[in-house]
Chains A and B, each alone.
Chain A
Amino acid sequence: MHYPALSVPQIGGGSLIAIVAIVHVFIAHFAVGAGILNAVAETLARRRGDALLLRFVRDSSKVLILIPFVLGAVTGVGIWFTIAVVAPRATSMLIHNFVWGWATEWVFFFVEIAAGYVYYYSWDKLSPRRHLIVGWIYAGAAWMSLVVINGIITFMLTTGRWQSLRAEGRWDAAFWYAILNPTYWPSLVLRTVSALAIAGIAACVLVHFLKSYTRDDRIGIIRLASYFMLPLLLMPPVAVWYFFQVPRFPRDLPFGGSIAMTMFFLFGGVCSALIFLYALGVIRRHEHVSLGSALMLLSMAFVATGSMEYVREGIRKPYVIRGYLWSSGIADQPAELARLNGEGILTHSPWIAPADRLARADLRTRGEWVFKAECIQCHTVDGVNGVTPLVYGWNREMLDINIRYLHRLKGFMPPFIGTDAERDALAEYLFSLSPTHHEDPPIAIPVAAVQPGGRP
């Protein structure tokens, strides 16, 4: 509305965010889990005088720096950059509510990076005791950054008492209730569990890339790493707990309510279960895991993480911040709706519908602008979730009715917002996308019909 629209051809802005976010979440979970795995392994190695294990921790600590520190950090910044260009209003809203949370997370992040470099460069410099402390500082800081960020991510789906507390002007309480929202704790457990599992799997992969390890050497390390996948057993009960905290409508989506959601949810569940069973087998039978199998497990973990993130993002629709802000960047607030429905969305979208051209634009152009203003966040024209195939063959009446009841026909869409004339323009635009209607001459309509409220 208030911002220019970035055009992301074919895949749409939503997919762009999803790609960056899934890569980042996977790496970030790896960083958290690897910090803990490293610290535990070094502690065990020092206590038992296990030179082999110590060598493994040492050899693998470089990966800790090469992957999370830059690829992880850059994709983290990447999420900021992409959400800001795709959904600037939502980003602004989150930052103005949670900047102290993020700033706190940043402190942990800073400590994590500093501790990580010291850890890596100080193997021969610090006493074993101090080196171990640095390892635990790294692990603690990395996990704490998850503790904080988890509050903000879960808030977007379950806002708890945030709205009512804000309305009362209780800013402090609103912040805490928002962070410690109903899905906070189950989500924290789920994320910690998956972080540990990813780190365990990564260790199984890594052990193959370090030189001069015999098969027996590897078996010992793989066995330890497999223990980090066992907490996956907690996933089903905690997931039930999680879904009990989610409101009824989105909760139904991954359980048959939406085919895509259900499929991804199943993917995630099945992959996690397989990883758990595999780890159990490895531990009980003292087995070796070949590089191929380890990579297979890693890809399954990636699919599981990606699917779960996809489901989490998906069930939030049509909101970015549930109950407050729609994906279209319009707030689900009576005052704002009254205003936009009265004055029109285009008069409030100066970037998309320049004031000097608005009066002269034909019906179809206005419709295209309306589409850019409130549909492009989830739809492309003919790429991912493209409207052209969706409305293929529909006539004007069908389009009219559909737009009027968007939110009733499909629960994951916000209602149409704007004047009747804008709705008509949108229908005209969608109608024109149908191949048979390409050559229709645009129909000019009186300006007054589009702008009943005039400009503010």
Chain B
Amino acid sequence: MTSALFAQAANALIPPRDEFGLPGPLWLFHILLPFTFVLHVIFMNFALGGALVLPSIWAVGRRRDRRDLVDVAMTGMGFLPIAVSFTITTGVAVLLFVQVVYGHFFYTANILLGWQWLSLLAYLCVAFYLIYASQKLMRAGRAAPALVALVVVAASLLMVAHIFSNNAVLSIRPNLWRAMHDGGSKHARDPMWTPRYLHSIVGSVSVTGLWLAVLGRCSHTLHEAARRAAVVTGLWIALIATVFQVAVGLWFFVSLDSSLQRSLLTFSFSDPRSMLWALAAVGGIVVIAVLWQSVQTPDRPRSVWLPVGLLGFVLVGMSAGREAVRIHALAQIPNALYQPSDVRLQSTPLAMFLIALVLGLGVVAMLLRWMFPRFEPSHAHSKTAP
């Protein structure tokens, strides 16, 4: 934050921390929040990126009479509703943990956005049901209305992302609050806003590229030509989008004020977040190199799995960096953040959650194995040999 004066002035408006304190150790929430956020982002990226990319592939495929591309796009779109519903499901976990640690900022941002914040839910419903509608239209051969529906889907999801960017910026910028409240503007004016929004969109396109490549490798419903088309197109999309993403990321970094930049560049073992972030930033460049290799040799399993693994790590690191920025921005305001002394540990309820989580993940893993027997590790390993 550029001046302490702003932080001071905004101070009176910041609601107090909750009187009931934290029901678990602070570090645990600091892990759970970015961890669930990564899960959320993986699905969200496919939902948002897919809504942008898949209709384009479909349209190109139809125009050039490329059956394989049309099939890839159709199969990919079949997954879109699932991606939307898992985006919501995983988002609920993020919503829970963000309220625990940053609720007093989060709620204030929600209220300042007001109806815009609540309208997000309507956009989500519109997107979900129109995806189904567009698929029905496509199967009926009605291309034009299907495309219109898909454009509305993409626009709705972009709007959702827009609202979330507003909320995210407002949640860490109390100095914007007063003006928002009095001025009636519903847009969080901050230099970081535009690059932040672009970062989430371009990022979702590159993740979607990799989802397509994975689809090409794993699908057993697509025919051979379409599977190859999925891998090749997916890898190219990921490559191009990642190049842009690194550029937008730089812009995002430059848009932060110097104290936040410094917070990301401090390498200290006491806060592994910035270190993870820095590794991820380097990782992003490595991903470009690896993808460049991959597009030359798209048939090797490694060409898909290596960038997927790397990008997974990049997402973790970026999510850690996001928390680093948040914490450093808010730490400049006296008394704003929860301290370890706020902890009122509820050990048995916490144990209940952890046990449920382990069991739940076990059940989901079992379900996935039943559903996708090809994913069984022994199988995957034997194929990885170059």
Contacts and interface: CB of A to CB of B under 8 A. Distances in A.
Main secondary structure of the interface of B (DSSP, over half): helix
Interface string A285-309: 0000000000000000000000000
A85 B96 contact: no
A418 to B, nearest CB: 19
Contacts of B82: 117
Contacts of B18: 92-93, 95-96
A73 B128 CA distance: 12
A71 B88 CA distance: 11
Nearest to B350: A100
B142 interface: no
Contacts of A66: 132
Interface stretch (B112-120, B250-258, B287-295): B112-120
A48 to B, nearest CB: 25
B103 interface: yes
B99 A95 contact: yes
Interface string B86-115: 101111110111011001101110111010
Contacts of B364: 110-111, 114
B310 to A, nearest CB: 26
Given A74-B125, A92-B103, A122 B371 contact: yes
Contacts of A102: 96
B111 A3 contact: yes
A240 to B, nearest CB: 31
Contact of B92 (A77, A91, A117): A77
A73 B15 contact: no
Contact of A103 (B16, B353, B363): B353
Contacts of B260: none
B107 A134 contact: no
Contact of A80 (B85, B89, B95, B128): B95
A172 interface: yes
A35 interface: no
A97 B23 contact: yes
A106 B370 contact: no
Contact of A172 (B21, B86, B349): B349
Contacts of A355: 12
Which of B24, B89, B352, B367 has the most C-beta atoms of chain A within 10 angstroms of its own C-beta?
A: B367
Contacts of A81: 110, 117-118, 120-121
A385 B317 CA distance: 51
A78 interface: yes
A17 to B, nearest CB: 11
A175 B363 contact: no
A88 B107 contact: yes
Interface in A348-405: 350-351, 355
A84 B99 CA distance: 10
B114 A175 contact: no
Contacts of B23: 96-97, 99-100, 171, 175
A77 B107 contact: no
Interface string A211-225: 000000000000000
A245 interface: no
A156 to B, nearest CB: 15
Given A77-B95, A95-B103, A137-B367, A3 B108 contact: yes
Interface residues of A, number: 61
Contacts of A103: 93, 96-97, 353, 357
A22 B24 CA distance: 32
B265 interface: no
Nearest to B78: A121
Contacts of B62: none
B346 interface: yes
Given A118-B370, A172-B348, A71 B99 contact: no
A355 B88 CA distance: 40
Contact of A171 (B99, B107, B345): B345
B103 A350 contact: no
A126 interface: yes
B84 interface: yes
Given A88-B107, A100-B23, A171-B344, A113 B13 contact: no
The number of chain B residues touching the other chain, given as a range, is 35 or more
Interface in B57-100: 81-82, 84-86, 88-93, 95-97, 99-100
A84 B108 CA distance: 9
A250 B346 CA distance: 31
A137 B360 CA distance: 10
A374 B112 CA distance: 19
A96 B347 contact: no
B110 A74 contact: no
B220 to A, nearest CB: 11
Contacts of B111: 3-6, 84-85, 88
Interface in B335-371: 344-350, 352-353, 356-357, 359-360, 363-364, 367-368, 370-371
Nearest to B177: A4
B269 interface: no
B353 A130 contact: no
B13 A351 contact: yes
Given A2-B15, A6-B111, A95-B96, A85 B117 contact: yes
A73 B85 contact: yes
A342 interface: no
B7 interface: no
A85 B18 CA distance: 16
Contacts of B345: 171
Contacts of A175: 23, 346, 348-349
Interface in B3-32: 12-13, 15-16, 18-24
Contacts of A80: 92, 95
B374 interface: no
Contacts of B286: none
Contacts of A327: none
8 contacts: A4-B112, A6-B111, A74-B88, A75-B121, A85-B110, A93-B20, A104-B349, A109-B92
10 closest pairs, A vs B, by CB?
A100-B349, A2-B15, A107-B360, A88-B107, A96-B20, A107-B356, A96-B18, A70-B128, A103-B353, A100-B353
Given A93-B20, A109-B92, 13 more contacts: A70-B129, A84-B106, A85-B107, A85-B111, A96-B22, A96-B100, A99-B97, A100-B346, A103-B357, A106-B96, A109-B89, A175-B346, A355-B12
Interface of B: 12-13, 15-16, 18-24, 81-82, 84-86, 88-93, 95-97, 99-100, 103-104, 106-108, 110-112, 114, 117-118, 120-121, 124-125, 128-129, 132, 181, 344-350, 352-353, 356-357, 359-360, 363-364, 367-368, 370-371
